[in-house]
Amino acid sequence: MRKLVQLQIPFESLLDTLTSLDIDQLYQLKDVLNRTIEQAKYNKLRDLLASKKWVKAEQETAAVMWKISGSKIPGFIHGEYIKKIPCEDLQTIDNLWTEYSNGHFGFSVQRRIWNEIGGKPYDTQDFKSFMKIGRKFDIRVGWNCTLDSIQFSLNAPPGHLPTYKCVGVNGGVDNAAQRYHQYLLATKLLNCKKNDSFASSS
């Protein structure tokens, strides 16, 4: 007899239960299952952050974001795919980082810093100006263009994590294209403000 791996529920018994439900109950069950699946997607990241395993949490963040972005390039998220990442997913990831770092790390911390130095959303300024602000951003969050400069501890500057690894680091953090994509990620949250859930955390 087939069984569900985790719950050890006989498959036939589960089917009997499902077929006995009316349409409204099935839709309610569908909503519950969808929420459970969404939450489970971030369980590993939550556990790593709760254990203060910052390096592994960074790696898991990169893996999850690559998956939800729909990127076709292994280990790298192109700018157009960054723009398509749902605000709800960014909020979930951000909430975990901010919660387990006591507000020290997270995308919303990076967004706040971007605002403080006069940065604007990616679609409201030219590339040169965008990258000029980005250099100021680097200084504030402590990204000094070498992988050795990345600090995986709470002694790092506010907003230091997550880093460039979230969008793929193949040639080091001084790779201009990858830095540009990280800035896109930080400023995307400015555009997420129209989302009620993100606006409430601003």
pLDDT digits (tens, 9 = 90+) for 62-99: 888 888 888 887 777 777 788 788 888 888 899 999 99
| Location of structure tokens 């080091």 | 172
In a domain, 45, yes or no: no
In a domain, 1, yes or no: yes
Evaluate the CA torsion angle 139, 145, 146, 150 in order and state its sign. positive
pLDDT tens-digit series, residues 9-68? 666 676 767 777 778 777 777 767 766 676 678 999 999 999 999 999 998 998 888 888
pLDDT tens-digit series, residues 87-130? 888 888 999 999 999 999 998 898 889 889 887 766 666 778 87
- Position 202 confidence tier, pLDDT thresholds 50, 70, 90: very low
Q: Which residues pair with 138 in a beta bridge?
A: none
- As for how many domains the chain has, the answer is 2
Q: Looking at the structure, do residues 151 and 111 belong to the same domain, yes or no?
A: yes
Q: Which residues pair with 3 in a beta bridge?
A: 10
Q: Looking at the structure, do residues 124 and 72 belong to the same domain, yes or no?
A: yes
Domain encompassing residue 189: 53-199
In a domain, 48, yes or no: no
Q: Looking at the structure, do residues 171 and 100 belong to the same domain, yes or no?
A: yes
